[in-house]
Amino acid sequence: MKMSVSVEDPAVLASLYRWLAQDPRLGGQVAARLRPRRLPEASMGGVEVIDLIVSNAIALGSLAISYATWRRALGREPTVRFEHEGQALTVTACTPEEVRQTLETLLGQPPVEDDSKNDEQ
């Protein structure tokens, strides 16, 4: 699954890129690459985007956890836009579950069942 991430503030984008590149939870299941924005996208803010390749649904969950943890550590709420196949969503969620659900919606993935809720019954 391929997607791109954009943030208007280049320093915030660089922070997110470093975070994702260094997060051991992603363990090679999510590849991140910084690239220049194409011209039409440049009107939306910064000059670079992060291209992501997510290997599977489990890796998508790890990406959601990593993103939510980065956002809490950042201490502010930047506008972060995820894009996939011409569709885009701005992620405003803060919890890993909310982020995962937003990314699944963007990717057209069916929701992953949370087995921990079933274990409690």
Instruction: Mention every residue, 6+ apart, whose C-beta is less than 8 A from residue 81.
Output: 5, 6, 7, 44, 88, 89, 90, 91
Split at pLDDT 50, 70, 90, the class of 112 is low
Q: What is the pLDDT of residue 28?
A: 85
Domain extents in the chain: 2-111
Euclidean distance between CA atoms 103 and 90, whole angstroms: 10
Mean predicted confidence (pLDDT) in 67-84 = 90
What pLDDT, in 10s, does the model give residues 88-100?
888 876 788 888 8
Q: Considering the domain 2-111, what is its CATH architecture? A: 2-Layer Sandwich (3.30)
Give the torsion through C-alpha atoms of 97, 99, 100, 103, to 10 deg: 160
**Which pLDDT value is given to residue 47?**
67
The structure's pTM equals: 0.79
